[in-house]
Amino acid sequence: MRNTSPEAAEARREIHEIFERKGHAVDNARDALSRLDRAFAEGALRRNPEIEGVLADLAVALEQDDGQKLGGKSSEAARFIGRRLEQLLAEA
């Protein structure tokens, strides 16, 4: 069931703004995950199996070794997975 609280709406709006802002998609995705973690901790949004799966996919796209720069494939994956995450959050 969708959480319609003001806190949930605010978290969704902020996460959307982070994904849409100018800058590197990988950095934006990391910032969005940070905000999402806070929303989960506060109880504004709830985890579910689909969200967990998308978060696992996003973690793989954002994974890097020390000193490694993430390139175009990681950026495209972060954008694509981020869009799916936003769809799921709209229902969370």
pLDDT in tens, 40-92: 999 999 999 999 999 998 888 877 645 555 455 677 888 889 999 999 999 88
pLDDT at 59: 87
Q: What pLDDT is recorded for position 25? A: 87
**What residue ranges do the domains of the chain occupy?**
6-91
The pLDDT of residue 29 is above 90:
yes
Q: How far is it, in rounded angstroms, from Cα 5 to Cα 63?
A: 33
- Contact yes or no for 39/15 (Cβ under 8 A): yes
State residue 84's pLDDT score.
94
